[in-house]
Amino acid sequence: MPELREVVGVFVAGGAGAAARLLLSTALDERGFRLPHVGTLTVNLLGCFAIGLVAAAMPRGPWRTVLATGLLGGFTTYSSFALLTYESATTGRWAVLALQCAAHLVGGVVAVALGWWCGGLFGPTNAR
């Protein structure tokens, strides 16, 4: 069972991550890029990269939990991606659906791998 300090840390960091997600995704979406929902995609890819970095570079423990579960859990928007995908499917926007799925899933895995590699440059790999 996590200590109260860790739970409070996750709570506070989660709020900060969610606020950062709102600010970044809104700023990007309001720019009117050709790719629909570019803010959600950007946040997901940055979050995937960052969680790979944290997982590879930080030892398991309270700080890693606060960053990975709290900050990055609040920051990433996978649930938003799922909703956007559902809406694209139910409105027959099949090309948008296919592009969004490919970009998020393939891009996310590549970003985690890149983050993991970069994290290994800063510390031992703490995988598995």
Domain ranges in the chain are: 4-121
Between 20 and 126, whose confidence is greater? 20
Residues 6 or more apart in contact with residue 89 via CB below 8 angstroms:
97
**55 touches 124 (CB < 8 A):** no
Phi and psi based region of residue 125 (left: phi greater than 0; alpha: psi -120 to 50; beta: remaining): beta
24-62 pLDDT, tens per residue? Answer: 999 999 997 888 889 999 999 999 999 999 999 999 999
Type of residue at 74: G
pLDDT at position 126: 59
Average pLDDT over residues 114-119: 92
pTM here is 0.78
pLDDT at position 93: 95
The answer on pLDDT for 128 being more than 50 is no
**54 touches 119 (CB < 8 A):** yes
**7 touches 66 (CB < 8 A):** no
Q: What percent of the chain lies above the pLDDT cut of 90? A: 77
pLDDT at position 124: 67
**Rounded Cα–Cα distance for residues 127 and 120 (Å):** 10
Residue 10: alpha-carbon gap to chain centroid: 15
